[in-house]
Amino acid sequence: MNKFSIKADKRTVLGSKIKQLRKKGILPANIFGKSVASQAIQVNTVEFNRVYKQAGETGLVWVSIEGEDKERPTLITAVTNNPVTGDKFHVDFHQVNLKEKVTTHVPVEIVGEAQMIKDGLAVLDTHLDEIEVEALPTDIPESVQFDISSLKEIGDQLKVSSVKLPTGVTLITDPESVVVALGEPQKEEEPLVTEVADVEVLTEAESEAPAETSSEK
């Protein structure tokens, strides 16, 4: 198992002044836990993006805070993004006890191939993109797989109950919840036919009538 680590500094900048940190490439954060008081910290944005890309919200991240001798085992539980730019706004690190189980959400990974989809006769309707499980922090899987190759007809579905979890991992999500199903492909809408308005045709007399002209005498 890869070890993900990140350095953090204690944060004294609060409130509206936090935006000044972001401009300097510093990401505001908080670290908290079951028996740990919430503490304001800050991390390098580039370094966080690197770690988050690999660890996601299921990988154990060891946070080394300035002035502390021991690293803290954490899970990234919340990342707030700017809705316009997508830039990171804030992150929460949940400090965990390696000997106590935690509940967390694990991403769903779709594997295999459904022939109906391959032939263009069906589409895959996704109902869940993650499920909730309980496990020791070190046992949390990166993702859980669902094989869609068994789906043969429109309406066929895979429920959460079909998931195969590693030893020590307990399912929390309702087993009867649908993860994916085969649906009918959308029919192409026929172009609207607009009636061509009748064009008023000049009568023969009107069309042959000379245009009025004026002349000086």
Domain at 4-95, CATH from 1.10.10.10, 1.10.645.10, 2.40.240.10, 3.30.230.10: 2.40.240.10
Token couple for 30: 């908080």
How many other CB atoms are found less than 10 A from the CB of residue 214? 4
State pLDDT tens for residues 131-149.
Answer: 999 999 999 999 999 999 9
Task: State how far the Cα of 55 lies from the Cα of 57, in Å rounded to an integer.
Answer: 6
Domain at 102-183, CATH from 2.170.120.20, 3.40.190.10, 1.10.275.10, 3.40.50.10860: 2.170.120.20
Confidence band (pLDDT; 50, 70, 90) for 48? very high
Strand 102-111, strand 144-147: pairing: parallel
Task: State how far the Cα of 144 lies from the Cα of 70, in Å rounded to an integer.
Answer: 32
Confidence (pLDDT) at 192: 60
Q: Which residue has the higher pLDDT, 51 or 210?
A: 51
Which whole number is the average pLDDT over 37-42? 95
State pLDDT tens for residues 58-69.
Answer: 999 999 999 999
Confidence band (pLDDT; 50, 70, 90) for 122? very high
Q: Decide if 133 contacts 103 (C-beta within 8 A).
A: yes
State pLDDT tens for residues 14-35.
Answer: 888 888 899 999 999 999 998 8
Q: Decide if 136 contacts 99 (C-beta within 8 A).
A: yes
Q: Say whether pTM exceeds 0.85.
A: no
Confidence (pLDDT) at 183: 96
Domain map (residue ranges) of the chain: 4-95, 102-183
Beta strands in 52-115 (DSSP E): 61-65, 72-81, 88-95, 102-111
Mean pLDDT over the full length of the chain: 88
